[in-house]
C-alpha cells in the first residue's frame, strides 16, 4: 500500500504542491474563501472533461522519443495553462468583436460579465472547429485496420465499419457528412468554414505524423513523431479544452479564478498522462483507450448540439467519465470485448 502511494506521489506530488501554492496566492489576492471553492470546482470540471485527453495523449506519447515526451509534458504545461486557458479566450473575443486587444484585456479584468457574453457569442465557431477535429480523431480510431483488440464488437466489428476501414478517407467522409447534415439544420457559412478548417487541420497534422513514422521506420529507427506529434497533441488538447473554457464562465466570471481553476486541472491531466505512459496503464487496461475515443466522439456530438440546446458542462464531463469508467471495468472483467 505504501509503495503504491509512493508511486502515485512521484507523479502527482508536484501538481498538488503547485496547486496548493496557487490557491494560497489566489486567497492572498482575493481574501475570499469562496474563490478557493469555485477554483476547486473548476479544476474538477477540467479534469473530468479532459481525462479522456490524458488517455489519448498517453497512447501517442508512447510512440515518441523520450526527449519529445519531456517536451510535451513540460513545454505543454505553460501552453495548456496560459495559452488555452488565458490567451486563447482573449484572442477569440478579439477576433469576434470590434474591441481592440487592449480593450479585450481591460474588459476581462474589469467587466468580466461583458467578457463572458462576448466569449459565449463566439462559441458557434469554436464548437464547429472543435467538433470537426474531434470527429476526425474518433473516426480515425474507429476505422483503424488491424487493431489487435476490439471493445464494442457490435460497432467496431460491424460489417459496414469494416468495409469503410478499407478506404483511406472514410474518417473525413463521415465527418463531412455529419457536418453537412448539421449545416442543413443550422446553415451558417462562418460555422461551415470553421468546420471545414477543423477537418483540414486534423488531416494536415495526421499526414505529417504518418510521414515521420514512415521515414523513421524506413531508416530502421524507433517510431518518432517529433514536431508533428507535439502539434497534434496540442491541437487535440485545445479542442478538448473548448468546453471547459467556455463552461467555466457559467460558474465564475472572475478571470483569475478561472485561470487558477482550469490551470490546476490541466496540471493534473498532465500528471495522469505521465502516469499512464510510464506505468504502461494502457497495456494493463486494454479497453481504456477505446473508451477514451468513444468519449471524444460523444463530446464532439455534444459540442454541436450545444448550439441548439442547453447542455450543462456537468453532462459533458459525466459522459466522458461514464465511458472511461465502463472501459476500466470491462478491462478487468473482459465481458464487453475480446482479443482477436
Task: Tell me the pLDDT band of 171, cut-offs 50, 70 and 90.
Answer: confident
- The Cα–Cα gap between 143 and 113 comes to 44
The reported pLDDT for the residue numbered 176 is: 92
- Least confident piece of the model among 42-46, 184-188, 293-297: 42-46
* Nearest partner of 194 among 126, 148, 134, judged by Cα: 126
- The Cα–Cα gap between 244 and 93 comes to 16
The reported pLDDT for the residue numbered 175 is: 92
The mean pLDDT value of the chain amounts to 75
Counting the structural domains of the chain, the total is: 1
Q: Are the C-beta atoms of 86 and 256 separated by less than 8 Å?
A: no
Backbone dihedral angles phi then psi of residue 143, each to the nearest 5 degrees: -95, 15
What are 52-66's pLDDT values in tens digits?
A: 677 777 777 777 777
pTM beyond cutoff 0.85: no
Q: Residue 209: is its pLDDT beyond 60? A: no
Q: CA 228, 234, 238: angle at the middle one, nearest 5?
A: 140
Task: Tell me the pLDDT band of 339, cut-offs 50, 70 and 90.
Answer: very low
Backbone dihedral angles phi then psi of residue 144, each to the nearest 5 degrees: -70, 125
What are 69-121's pLDDT values in tens digits?
A: 777 777 777 777 777 777 777 777 777 677 788 888 888 778 877 877 777 77
Element (H, E) at 238: helix 226-251
How many other C-beta atoms lie within 10 A of the C-beta of residue 240? Answer: 30
Enclosing domain of residue 202: 2-339
Q: Residue 190: is its pLDDT beyond 80? A: yes
Look-up of cell digits 439544420:
185
DSSP-assigned beta bridge partners for residue 339: 149
The reported pLDDT for the residue numbered 45 is: 67
The reported pLDDT for the residue numbered 13 is: 78
**Direct distance between the N- and C-terminal alpha carbons of the chain, in angstroms, rounded to an integer:** 35
Amino acid at each position: 500500500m505504501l509503495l503504491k502511494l509512493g508511486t502515485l506521489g512521484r507523479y502527482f506530488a508536484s501538481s498538488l504542491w503547485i496547486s496548493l501554492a496557487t490557491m494560497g496566492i489566489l486567497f492572498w489576492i482575493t481574501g475570499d474563501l469562496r474563490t478557493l471553492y469555485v477554483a476547486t470546482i473548476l479544476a474538477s470540471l477540467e479534469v473530468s472533461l479532459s481525462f479522456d485527453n490524458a488517455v489519448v495523449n498517453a497512447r501517442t506519447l508512447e510512440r515518441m522519443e523520450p526527449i519529445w515526451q519531456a517536451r510535451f509534458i513540460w513545454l505543454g504545461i505553460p501552453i495548456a495553462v496560459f495559452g488555452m486557458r488565458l490567451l486563447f479566450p482573449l484572442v477569440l473575443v478579439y477576433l469576434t468583436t470590434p474591441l481592440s486587444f487592449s480593450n479585450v484585456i481591460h474588459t476581462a479584468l474589469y467587466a468580466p460579465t461583458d467578457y463572458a457574453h462576448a466569449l459565449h457569442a463566439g462559441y458557434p465557431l469554436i464548437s464547429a472547429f472543435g467538433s470537426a477535429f474531434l470527429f476526425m480523431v474518433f473516426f480515425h480510431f474507429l476505422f483503424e485496420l488491424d487493431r489487435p483488440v476490439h471493445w464494442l464488437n457490435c460497432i467496431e466489428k460491424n460489417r459496414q465499419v469494416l468495409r469503410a476501414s478499407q478506404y483511406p478517407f472514410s474518417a473525413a467522409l463521415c465527418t463531412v457528412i455529419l457536418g453537412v447534415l448539421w449545416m442543413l439544420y443550422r446553415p451558417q457559412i462562418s460555422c461551415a468554414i470553421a468546420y471545414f478548417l477543423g477537418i483540414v487541420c486534423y488531416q494536415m497534422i495526421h499526414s505529417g505524423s504518418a510521414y515521420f513514422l514512415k521515414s523513421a521506420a524506413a531508416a530502421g529507427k524507433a517510431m518518432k513523431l517529433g514536431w508533428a506529434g507535439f502539434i497534434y497533441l496540442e491541437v487535440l488538447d485545445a479542442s478538448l479544452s473548448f468546453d471547459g473554457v467556455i463552461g467555466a464562465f457559467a460558474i465564475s466570471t472572475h478571470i483569475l479564478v478561472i485561470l487558477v481553476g482550469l490551470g490546476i486541472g490541466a496540471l493534473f491531466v498532465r500528471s495522469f498522462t505521465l502516469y499512464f505512459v510510464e506505468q504502461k496503464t494502457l497495456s494493463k487496461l486494454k479497453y481504456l483507450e477505446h473508451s477514451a475515443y468513444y468519449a471524444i466522439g460523444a463530446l464532439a456530438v455534444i459540442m454541436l448540439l450545444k448550439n441548439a440546446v442547453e447542455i450543462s458542462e456537468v453532462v459533458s464531463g459525466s459522459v466522458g467519465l461514464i465511458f472511461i469508467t465502463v472501459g476500466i471495468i470491462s478491462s478487468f472483467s473482459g465481458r464487453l470485448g475480446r482479443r482477436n
